[in-house]
Amino acid sequence: MAASKRSRLRTPTAVVALVGAVALAAVALLGPAVWGSTADTTTVADRMLGPSAAHPFGTDELGRDLFARVMVAARLSLVLTLGATAITMAGGVVLGLVASVLPRVARRLVTGFMDILLAFPWLLLVLFFSAIWGASAVGAMLAIGFAGVPSIARLVYTMSSSLSGRDFVRAARVAGVGPLGVLGRHVLPNIRGPLLVNTAATASVTLLSFAGLSFLGLGVQAPDYDWGRLLREGIARIYLNPMAAIGPGLAIVLAGLVFTLASEALASRRGHGLRTIGRLAKAAAGIPSGDVEPSAPERARPVAEVRGLRVAFPDGDGGLVERVRGVDLTVAPGETVGIVGESGSGKSLTAMALAGLLAPPAVVTAAARTFDGIDLSRPLSRADAARVGAGLGMIFQDPLTSLNPALTIGRQLTEVPEVHLGMSRAQARERATEALRVVSIPEPERRLRRYPHEFSGGMRQRAMIGMALTASPRLLIADEPTTALDVTVQRQVMAVLRRAQRDSGAAIVFISHDIALVSAFCDRVVVMKDGLVVEELDAGRIRQDAQHPYTRALVACLPDMSSDRSRPLPVIAGDGSTA
Amino acid sequence: MNALEIDDVTVRYRRELAVDGVSLAVPQGRTVGLVGESGSGKSSIANAVVGLVRPASGDIRVGGASVVGRGAAVTQARRRTQLIFQDPFSALDPLMPVGASIAEATRATGRRWSREAKAARVRELLGQVHIDPARADELPAAFSGGQRQRITIARALAGEPSVLIADEVTSALDVSVQGAVLNLLRELQRDLGLSILFISHNLAVVRYISDEICVMRHGRIVEAGETEALLRDPADGYTRELLRAVPVLGRRMEFEDA
């Protein structure tokens, strides 16, 4: 924790922001003492001078040095900015947090009111409030401060409401922690990060608003002056002495920049800079690409094949983590291959690489990588890309995220036939209807006009399978297709998948963490662990044939309908997390 | 003697009926499995027992005392139950050291704890769930999924419950870790005499850990009984369908009637 904080402070942005903030604070603190007397000395002889060595920004109509006045004005400008920012943030946090714990009716009222305020242009609110509190420095501070409250309150309300649905908040409530305790102990610490970022961003906007208000004559009144007032006075003489306007303008820009950089530095994460990308490219070049011979050409041509597959990802510190470490996998036409393994075993990555679907930041290398005879390790020609696109169907775990919620099912099912197969719209529609019929969706013509959210989970997954079928695929990759479904629905979806395979003759790569399910559906089972294939087995003979201790442990530790209930379950050894 | 009695409970969300007149009992020191599909009302029952949802009608009693409604007696009785959640990643506050999370849960005992007593209790609980007590000051991110689930179990135990509600506690875990968590629950039940309502959609897991099973569908209990007897001879059509859908290692799935 401490280490990551330190390295976050060491980014160039953070260093510049820090230096800038210290400089601003120093000017604000010492400015009036150092330049105060110069700024207030009227010298009639030196009226309205242009910039010179003695007066870098020139002088005003009373002969006062403008540079000194800009420096002195820093204190008032910054104090007002910070004051208004404090009002905005405090008001927003209190209102947002309180709104999130109110009973339903009161919460509706408060959030409704916030929404109404948000509907007004922000400037209108500021002008409205300054009419209430009058055209003075304090009035402007209150006006700008309060005008910002609704948007921050809305942000805080949204963030804390999403947190209050989380289990750890429920757990605290079950343990008897009151609403205020939950806010203080759990909600506030968890929204602190975004709030800090927003504070810095708000400060920069507030600074500009003050300059704007004072420029309009609504803010700071004579004889006091801030940067906005100096700007207003200077702009009148911009043709005679440009520096009279540019000087205070520069001060505003620089201070605004410091606030923006601070917010940037707070928001930034490690490992996204240019340097990391450079190191990544170098590391990718250095990855061993495996030394396995490509498979002999005389064998029956597989649908898809990888040899010596390695997949790596950036680790955030400029290095690479290898998640697949040399995997060979061959899928014959019409075959059903299961890949089983626990989270992080590399099973999904292997399948994605098999389909050529991994994009940067993933670094994929292999001795050979082919799909339907097309070499995937080289850039594809247009025709080859279309063949891969049409020959491949993907089915993911959560169809709600892989189907586009804004398009009808029909629109999404006709895309592949139209784009990849060059069919007319009517033909494509016919194809889509047929696909839905194959996956046992009743009334396919009517359902094509529906949106994904109007389907149940099992029906969405069947539509997804239907979508994969529209392409007349040679290979279907099903990545945990039933994990989000109930067992009875799972059985229906598996039945549909089996029938689709029989009709299309496609090969299937079926990925799951459930070795029983994989063995019940596939011909051949590949067991993966830590990015390596530990064993390949005939699906029907896993219990008898499994040699590798990991496979045997996987089988043993899975409770089934015949496990001995009087004995503890075996636990996989060599796993640091199990005692 | 029943540790937990759910008596003709109905739970409604606005117009939707989530639980429809369910009655079930968890006898002292036993594990009752509640199995059913998503949307069958299992989790609504869990939420009603711990007081996160208020039943529209019916009564829930823990150790004979009602936990429905408000008042000191209800709060007192409700503290005898604790809930363990499905997702170990969202169940712990990411910014709070795990020891502090567990210490916070000691409030549910209703007693005042001195700082030393609390720290000692946290160490004891971590030891009980096989986590090194020296790691109490680490944040949840430093632990694996299975370890986090054991920490949430320790947090539930901190409230000194007589009834534990385990809501899909292994569904987010890898099988290797699932076994360890199931073993831990059995061990704790034996050592502490806990009564457990074990909720899951995984029939094999429910079968392994439960003495009795209730099968739920559309907000009602369609069948209930002793584990072995119920699974050997299921009377309800839905229970049979559920049994048939469980994949068995090495046996090819038949789809003729699906």
The pLDDT value recorded for residue A85 is 92
Q: What is the pLDDT of residues A393-413, one digit of tens each?
A: 888 777 666 777 777 888 887
Q: Pick the more confident residue, A576 or A486.
A: A486
Residue pair A520/A540 in contact by the 8 Å Cβ criterion: no
Q: Does a structural domain hold residue A287?
A: no
In terms of Cβ atoms closer than 10 Å to its own Cβ (0-12, 13-18, 19+), residue A449 is exposed
- pLDDT surpasses 50 at B164: yes
Which residue carries 């090194």 as its tokens?
B132
What integer pLDDT is reported at residue A399 of this predicted model? Answer: 63
Angle between helices A149-164 and A66-101 (to 10 degrees): 40
Q: What's the token pair of residue A153? A: 């309150």
Strand, coil or helix: A294:
coil
- Cα nearest neighbour of B251 on chain A: A520
By the 10 Å C-beta count (0-12 exposed, 13-18 middle, 19+ buried), A30 is classed as middle
pLDDT at A289: 41
Q: Which of A189, A488, A542 sits opposite B249 (nearest CB)?
A: A542
Mean pLDDT score, A411-427: 78
Same domain, A336 and A471: yes
pLDDT tens by residue, A305-337: 888 888 888 776 667 788 888 888 888 888 899
User: Are the CB atoms for A135 and A222 separated by under 8 Å?
Assistant: no
In three-state form (DSSP H/G/I as H, E/B as E, the rest C), the secondary structure along chain B is CEEEEEEEEEEEECCEEEEEEEEEEEECCCEEEEEECCCCCHHHHHHHHHCCCCCCEEEEEECCEECCCCCHHHHHHHCCEEEECCCCCCCCCCCCCHHHHHHHHHHHHCCCCCHHHHHHHHHHHHHHCCCCHHHCCCCHHHCCHHHHHHHHHHHHHHCCCCEEEEECCCCCCCHHHHHHHHHHHHHHHHHHCCEEEEEECCHHHHHHHCCEEEEEECCEEEEEEEHHHHHHCCCCHHHHHHHHHCCCCCCCCCCCCC
Is the pLDDT assigned to residue A578 strictly greater than 70?
A: no
B159:A568 CB<8 A: no
pLDDT for residue B53 is more than 90: no
Q: Which residues pair with A396 in a beta bridge?
A: none
- Based on the domain organization, do A347 and A235 belong to the same domain? no
Which pLDDT tens digit goes with each residue over A456-508?
777 787 888 888 777 778 888 888 887 777 788 788 888 888 888 888 888 99
Residue A570 with chain B: CB contacts under 8 Å: 179
In a domain, A567, yes or no: no
- Please check whether residue A400 touches B, CB under 8 A: no
The Cβ-side half-sphere exposure at A274, using a 13 Å CA radius, reads 1
Residue A460 lies in a domain: yes
Show Cβ contacts of residue A411 under 8 Å, excluding neighbours closer than 6 positions: none
Domains in chain B with CATH codes: 2-80+161-245 (3.40.50.300), 93-160 (no CATH)
When pLDDT is cut at 50, 70 and 90, the band that residue A119 belongs to is confident
- Coil, helix or strand for A536? strand
Q: Residue B140, preceding bond cis, omega within 30 degrees?
A: no
Per-residue tokens: A100:
């999130």
pLDDT tens-digit map of A6-56: 555 567 788 888 888 899 898 888 888 878 777 777 777 777 777 777 777
Number of domains forming the structure of chain A: 2
Q: Which residues contact A67 (CB under 8 A, 6 or more apart)?
A: A35, A55, A56, A57, A247
Sign of the alpha-carbon torsion through A555, A558, A563, A569? positive
- A248 plus A384 within the same structural domain: no
CATH number at residue A473: 3.40.50.300
**Tens of pLDDT along B63-103?**
888 888 888 888 888 888 888 888 888 889 888 999 999 99
pLDDT classification of A573: cutoffs 50, 70, 90: low
pLDDT classification of B256: cutoffs 50, 70, 90: low
Neighbouring CB atoms inside 10 A of B40's CB total 24
**A179 in contact with B, Cβ within 8 Å:** no
Looking at residue A575, its pLDDT comes to 43
Residue of A nearest to B167 (CA): A167
Q: How confident is the model at residue A300 (pLDDT cuts 50, 70, 90)?
A: low
Range of the domain at A387: 302-557
Assembly ipTM: 0.78
Bigger pLDDT: A397 vs A228: A228
Higher pLDDT, A576 or A308: A308
Question: Residue B91: beta bridge partners?
Answer: none
- In CATH, what number is assigned to the domain containing residue A122? 1.10.3720.10
Write out the two tokens for B250.
Answer: 């090495």
Cα A493 to Cα A52, A459, A476, distances in angstroms: 83, 9, 14
Same structural domain, A186 and A316: no
> Minimal CA–CA distance to A11: which of A294, A267, A222?
A267
Q: Which residue of B has its CA nearest to A345?
A: B174
Question: What pLDDT is recorded for position B165?
Answer: 92
Distance, CA of B96 to CA of B79 (rounded, Å): 23
pLDDT at A271 over 60: no
The least confident of A331-340, A440-449, B31-40 is A440-449
Rounded Cα gap, residues A248 and A233, in angstroms: 10
Q: Does A180 touch chain B (CB under 8 A)?
A: no
Q: How far apart are CA A564 and CA A568, in angstroms?
A: 8
- The verdict on B206 touching A (C-beta cutoff 8 Å) is no
A8's tokens: 């976050």
The torsion defined by the Cα of A537, A538, A539 and A540, in degrees rounded to 10, comes to: -130
Structure token digits, residue A455: 């389907």
Instruction: Note the pLDDT of residue A274.
Output: 43
Q: Which segment of A64-68, A85-89, A364-368, A455-459 scores lowest on mean pLDDT?
A: A455-459
pLDDT grade for A574, boundaries at 50, 70 and 90: low
In order, the DSSP letters of A334-373 are T-EEEEE--TTSSHHHHHHHHTT---TTSEEE-SEEEETT
Give dist(CA A56, CA A247) in Å, integer. Answer: 9
Decide: helix, strand or coil at residue A156: helix
Task: Report the amino acid identity of residue A126.
Answer: V
Tokens of A37: 């007397």
Same domain, A339 and A486: yes
Closest-CA residue in chain B for A572? B176
- The average pLDDT across B201-206 equals 88
Q: Is B57 on the interface with A (CB under 8 A)?
A: no
- Minimal CA separation from A12 to chain B, in Å: 27
Residue A7 placed within a domain: no
Cα separation of A221 and A234, whole Å? Answer: 15
User: Which of A159, A168, A529 is the best substitution to test chain B (most B C-beta atoms within 10 A)?
Assistant: A168
Count of other CB atoms within 10 angstroms of residue A576: 7
Please give the pLDDT value at position A465: 80
**Rounded alpha-carbon distances, angstroms, from residue B220 to A234, B21, B258:** 79, 7, 24
Phi, psi of B2 (to 5 degrees): -95, 130
Nearest CB to B182; choose among A514, A569, A579: A569
Give the per-residue pLDDT at A192: 82
Cβ distance of B249 and A495 shorter than 8 Å: no
Residue type at A293? E
Are A245 and A343 part of one and the same domain? no
Same domain for A485 and A382?
yes
**Does the beta-carbon distance from B174 to A513 stay under 8 Å?**
yes
> Could you tell me which residues come within 8 angstroms of residue B75 by beta carbon, excluding any fewer than 6 positions away?
A176
In contact, A480 and A397? CB cutoff 8 Å: yes
Q: Select from A248, A267, A286 the last residue of a domain.
A: A267
CB environment A226-257: b (16+ within 10 A), e (fewer): bbbbbbbbbeebeeebbbbbbbbbebbeebbe
Q: How confident is the model at residue A249 (pLDDT cuts 50, 70, 90)?
A: confident
Mean pLDDT of A132-149: 86
Question: What average pLDDT does the segment B17-31 reach?
Answer: 91
pTM here? 0.72
Are residues A345 and A531 in contact, defined by beta-carbon separation less than 8 angstroms?
Answer: yes
Pair A231, A341 in one domain: no
**Is the CB of B96 less than 8 angstroms away from the CB of A577?**
no
Q: What is the pLDDT of residue B155?
A: 92
Helix (H), strand (E) at residue A325: strand A320-331
The reply to whether A33 falls in a domain is yes
Determine, yes or no, domain membership for A565.
Answer: no
Confidence of residue A219 (pLDDT cuts 50, 70, 90): confident
Name the DSSP class of A392.
E
> Do residues B158 and B121 lie in contact, with contact meaning Cβ atoms separated by under 8 Å?
yes
The overall average pLDDT reported for chain B is: 88
What residues have CB less than 8 Å from A245, skipping those under 6 apart?
A231, A234, A235, A237, A238
Is A502 part of a structural domain of the chain?
yes
Amino acid identity at B211: D
Q: Which of A267, A294, A312 is the last residue of a domain?
A: A267
Stretch A120-129: mean pLDDT, rounded? 84
Query: What letter would DSSP give residue A59?
Result: B
Q: Taking 80 as the threshold, does the pLDDT of residue B205 lie above it?
A: yes
Residue A278 has pLDDT above 80, yes or no: no
Please tell me the predicted confidence (pLDDT) of residue B98.
92
Amino acid (one-letter) located at A70:
V
Amino acid identity for residue A138 in this structure: V
Interface residue B4 vs chain A (CB under 8 A): no
Check CB contact under 8 Å for A559 and B246.
no
Percent of chain A with pLDDT over 70: 89
Q: Using 50, 70 and 90 to split pLDDT, how confident is the model at B38?
A: confident
Same domain, A316 and A227: no
**pLDDT for position B258:** 54
When pLDDT is cut at 50, 70 and 90, the band that residue A280 belongs to is very low
Are A224 and A338 members of one domain?
no
Mean pLDDT, residues B204-228? 91
- Single out the residue in A242, A267, A292 at which a domain terminates: A267
Average pLDDT over residues A375-394: 79
Q: Quote the tokens at residue B117.
A: 């007593």
User: A307 and A176: one domain?
Assistant: no
Asked, for residue A571, whether it belongs to a domain, the answer is no
CB A289 within 8 A of CB A310: yes
pLDDT(A204) > 90: no
